[in-house]
Amino acid sequence: MLNDKRILLLIGGGIAAYKCLDLVRRLKERGARVRAVMTRAAGQFVTPLSVGAITGERVFTDLFDLTAEHDIGHIRLSREADLVVVAPATADLLAKMAHGIADDLATTALLATDKPVLVAPAMNPRMWAHPATRRNVAQLRADGIAMVGPNAGAMAERDEFGEGRMAEPMEILAAIEAHFGAADTALLKGRRILVTSGPTHEPIDPVRYIANRSSGKQGHAIAAAARAAGAEVILVSGPAEAADPRGVKVIHVETAQEMMAAVEESLPVDAAVFAAAVADWRVADAAGQKIKKGDGGAPPLTLVENPDILAAIARHRTLRPRLVVGFAAETQDVVAHARDKRLRKGCDWIVANDVSPETGIMGGDANTVHLVTAAGVEDWPSASKAEVARHLVARMAADLAGETR
């Protein structure tokens, strides 16, 4: 809940401005107080009347509105808030913010504020990719400005495709709630989510096994974030380092075959996230007794392929979850391999990361991922595994609610 949290929403001039009406509605439902400022350009996309009807407060539109200045100056406006949210943040607004330009009420409030600022960029993919915007975004990040999105997807312009769509209202909401440390327990309420996590151990004999370096931290963080968002969560975990998250049904398994069986038994679910680092092969005839050193030299190990759990569930004839998310751990050509993997495995999204030893991702606490969807590729900023999990969960909630695909 966001009880009595005061949000100053600065609405920029972009086609995504209409999504702000939904954002305000959701913020109000959670008890927040929302005051809106619209730039002149925003007025081309939504009217102050409709914004005011939803915020329940007057909407501020112009720096030189003398009555408003008399009533409440821009300095007060920007300080009488717990958080300033800019959505949609156009390329122009980001540029002005990065350079401290204050030539209307919204930008003046941004320059005058001493409160944290969260921006939700939205623009044409070419504008987002432009070196000038890249510079401005880097500057804003260095200034401590938080960002949510943009996402990849179809743009309002015909035939335009790429990164630049504003984050969905649910994602912006989740970022706001994360800022206040309040997980939204309604985001995934009523949903059943399955997560696989950790490595698998494939026995050679009763004391030896084949394994990998996965710690289970990312998968466990996703299960915890989904639970915090109100979902019923089943976590099928290999022998992971990470502790069992609270409130989650955890099924402990050792091998890929056991993981497959546990996953199948857990269906149906609304969404499944396959974060486990499943061993691709197992030893064909694991010995029943400890293999002893002998005169014959090293024993030959014959490997056979394990079932591909992700591919099997993504292609399940009757119980395919509505949203199937795979991971791709790569050490080179990360995005190209991930795109290929998405198609090959038949899943909806792939969360791809570079696990070369120098990145420290495997076993570490931070992660840098790319989200590969049918709509394109998004490069997410480096974040803790918990943040990546919250972000992914918010994105999944938006998808299940039918906001994106």
Q: Which 3 state secondary structure label does DSSP give 62? A: coil
Residue 147 or 262 having the CB closest to ligand CTP? 262
Angle, alpha carbons 90-367-251 (nearest 5°): 120
Among this protein's residues, is 212 annotated catalytic? yes
**62 in contact with ligand CTP (CB under 6 A):** no
The structure tokens listed for 65 are 């509105």
Nearest to 148 by CA among 5, 19, 335: 19
* Positions in 193-232 near ligand CTP (CB under 6 A): 196
Q: How far is the CB of 340 from ligand CTP (least distance, A)?
A: 8
Which position among 118, 309, 377, 396 is part of the footprint of ligand CTP (CB under 6 A)? Answer: 309
Of 17, 37, 236, 310, the one binding ligand CTP (CB under 6 A) is 310
Applying CB under 6 A, which part among 106-114, 116-124, 159-167, 323-331 lies near ligand CTP?
323-331
CA 89 to chain centre: 19
* 55: phi then psi, degrees, rounded to nearest 5: -75, -25
For ligand CTP, give the closer residue by CB, 107 or 237. 237
Decide if residue 328 touches ligand CTP (CB under 6 A). Answer: yes
Q: Between 38 and 310, whose beta carbon lies closer to ligand CTP?
A: 310
Catalytic residue among 3, 136, 212, 353: 212
**Cα–Cα dist 192/319, whole Å:** 13
Shortest Å, Cβ 325 to ligand CTP: 8
161 forms bridges with which residues in the sheet? 154
**Helix (H) / strand (E) containing 288:** none
Cβ closer to ligand CTP: 242 or 328?
328
Of 26 and 217, nearer to ligand CTP (C-beta) is: 217
Least separation in angstroms between residue 368's CB and ligand CTP is 16
Give CA torsion, residues 396, 398, 404, 405, to 10 deg: 20
State the Cα–Cα distance between residues 273 and 229, nearest whole angstrom.
15
Please select the residue that binds ligand CTP; options are 60, 327, 349, 380, rule is CB under 6 A.
327
Give strand ranges (E) for 44-160.
83-89, 117-121, 146-147, 151-154
Which listed residue (278, 323, 371, 389) binds ligand CTP by CB under 6 A?
278
Rg of the chain in Å (alpha carbons) = 24
Among the listed ranges 16-24, 130-138, 202-210, 308-316, the one in contact with ligand CTP (CB under 6 A) is: 308-316
- x-or-dash string of contact with ligand CTP, 244-273, rule CB under 6 A: ------------x-----------------
Sole residue written with tokens 């401290």: 100
Angle at alpha carbon of residue 222, lines to 221 and 227, rounded to 5° = 100
Q: Which stretch binds ligand CTP (CB under 6 A): 144-152, 179-187, 305-313, 384-392?
A: 305-313
Pair 203, 286: CB distance under 8 Å? yes
Q: Are 275 and 245 in contact (CB under 8 A)?
A: no
Per-residue tokens: 280:
């691709």
Is 352 a binder of ligand CTP (CB under 6 A)? Answer: no
Residue numbers of the site for ligand CTP (CB under 6 A)? 196, 256, 274, 276, 278, 280, 306, 308-310, 326-329, 341
The catalytic site residues sit at 212
